[in-house]
Amino acid sequence: MKEERRLREAVVATGIEMERLGFAVAKSGNVSCRIGSGMLITPTALPYAKTRPEDVVLMSLDAGEMPTDATPSSEWRFHAAIYRAQPEADAIVHTHSPHASALSCARRSIPAFHYTVGLAGGTDIRCADYATFGTQELADNVLRALEGRRAVLLANHGVIAFGPTLERALTLASEVESLAQRYLALLSAGLEPVILDEAEMQRVAEQFHRYGRD
């Protein structure tokens, strides 16, 4: 019970931090973490500042019975799908951070114009195909885009990032937002970014692993 309480508090704290960063205006986005064979996820339509640890919804990964009558985030489907498909995912944040969301509206992936793109686990940060929020179709699109990755853009929507902890997941989402801001700055200036090749990004991945940043 102490561990569950700690995780509930961490989910709420992460949502509040997302809002402070400007990543979750007006209760946008959502947060979850794995617990046992299920997950804890933020409730729908409740501002983070008013969310109590007991409001966080405990549910199974197959959308089975919930021990309360609370309603989970409308995006629970892609959270559950990621946990089922990615054993290394123990925490997920979904943000509407401004620059990454703007780039997602152009349905553009972020190429390896900067070596820290590799923090997301590959040679680019893909943009998942568009689908209506809260649908199984969106969850399926997310899984395809996340293959070999730890973060993706969602077309006309926002960002998903996962990690071994909520802190790491939010840090990665922050990295994605920073990269999107810099990439948009280059595009706005009419400059053509020089893209690092696959061999260099492999060396980057090895360096990240060596220094514990993967």
Residues with a known catalytic role: 75
CA distance 109 to 102: 12
Buried/exposed 182-209: b ≥16 CB within 10 Å, e otherwise:
bbbeeeeeeeeeeebeeeebeebbeebe
CA distance 88 to 130: 25
Of the candidates 69, 65, 90, 68, the residue with the CA atom closest to the CA atom of residue 79: 90
Phi/psi region, residue 58 (left: phi>0; alpha: psi -120 to 50; beta: rest), is beta
157, 127 in Cβ contact below 8 A? no
10 Å CB burial of residue 26 (0-12, 13-18, 19+) is: exposed
Residue 167's SS3 state is helix
